[in-house]
Structure 1
Amino acid sequence: MKSSAAHHGSLRSYLGGFSASLLLTLASFGLVLYGPPLEPSLLFGTLAFLAILQIIVQIYFFLHVDTSSEQLWHLLPLLYTLLIVILLVGGTLWIMHNANLHMMSGMDP
């Protein structure tokens, strides 16, 4: 059986996670401030992808959650939380879209 200290990362692991987080953050800011002029939807998609990568880096390097059998009890609540967030955000966007559609339907010129 492994000790609880085995789940903690080394200095090298923390520095790698910090470097990856810093790189992803700077890439996001650089893309918005100095990047090529992109379509708004492409820019949003790229920023969303970089944000998802940032979340994965944070979870793996700093929370030490991976797909090993020892970490299953930490992964399941995280996946449940992700499901709840997706339902809340998706439901909110769906309600807002329908409200906008129904409230603005009589305003066509």
Structure 2
Amino acid sequence: MSDQTHVRTGHDLAPGEEEQHSVGERVLGYVVGLGLALVLTAMSFFIAGTDLVWQPSIPVALIVLAIAQMGVHLVFFLHITTGPDNTNNVLALAFGLLVVFLVVGGTVWIMGHLNANMPPMDQIMPMRK
């Protein structure tokens, strides 16, 4: 084994990886994240309620703003970065998304098949007169 110690410098960091910061710098990061989240939320409400935007593009614009807001929350509040020490966090997030999509997709799939394959209720239980 070697006795080399690895000293991290400012140039050694992966994109988005955080060093040790003071409390003021951390609070500033949270305030910037909050500001971005508020701006994206206000833009979503503006786009949904205005006639200035081409009407068929509104759902696409809202989806883009929602994805941007998810990115802001992941980076500024959950501190998900591209650093090598965040691999477990990213894998846990990916697994959680997989579970959510399986549960929601499976539920929609089952409900769709039940709707297509079940007879109407009046055929199962005729109404008494």
TM-score, normalised to structure 1, is 0.72
Q: Which moved more, 1:74-83 or 1:91-100?
A: 91-100
Q: Which moved more, 1:30-39 or 1:48-57?
A: 30-39
Q: Indicate whether 1:29 and 2:45 are aligned.
A: yes
Residues 58-85 of structure 1: CA distance to partner in whole angstroms, max 9, x if unpaired?
0110111112111112221111101111
Aligned match of 2:76: 61
The alignment partner of 2:20 has SS state of helix
Aligned match of 1:85: 100
Question: Which of structures 1 and 2 has the bigger CA Rg?
Answer: 2
2: CA distance, partners of 1:13 / 1:27: 21
2: CA distance, partners of 1:43 / 1:78: 28
2: CA distance, partners of 1:97 / 1:45: 25
Q: How far did 1:97 drift?
A: 3.2
CA RMSD in angstroms, aligned pairs only: 2.8
TM-score, normalised to structure 2, is 0.62
Q: How far did 1:103 drift?
A: 5.4
Q: Indicate whether 1:52 and 2:52 are aligned.
A: no
Greater than 6 Å deviation, 4+ residue runs:
none
Unaligned runs of 5+ in 1: 105-109
Identity across matched positions, percent: 34
Q: Indicate whether 1:14 and 2:30 are aligned.
A: yes
Relative to 1, partners in 2 of residues 1:33 and 1:87: Cα closer, same or farther, differing over 3 Å?
Answer: same
Greater per-residue helix proportion: 1
Residues 26-48 of structure 1: CA distance to partner in whole angstroms, max 9, x if unpaired?
11111111243513xx4333222
